[in-house]
Amino acid sequence: MRSAALTVLLALAYLTIVTPVGVVSRLVHDPLHRRWNKETGTHWHLIKEPQPPRNDHA
Inside any domain, residue 22? yes
Distance of CA 57 to the CA centre of its chain: 37
**Does any domain span residue 7?**
yes
The DSSP 8-state label assigned to residue 6 in this structure reads H
For residue 3, tell me if it sits in a domain. yes
Q: What is the total count of domains within the chain?
A: 1
Q: Which range marks the domain in which residue 19 is found?
A: 1-29
**Domain assignment present for 20:** yes
pLDDT digits (tens, 9 = 90+) for 1-16: 889 999 999 999 999 9
Mean pLDDT along residues 34-55: 81
Whether the full predicted model's pTM is greater than 0.85, yes or no, is no
Q: According to the 3-state scheme, what is the secondary structure of 14-55? A: HHHHHHHHHHHHHHHCCCCCCCCCCCCCCCCCCCCCCCCCCC
- 43 neighbors 36 (Cβ within 8 angstroms): yes
- pLDDT for 7-44, tens place per residue? 999 999 999 999 999 889 888 887 777 777 778 777 78
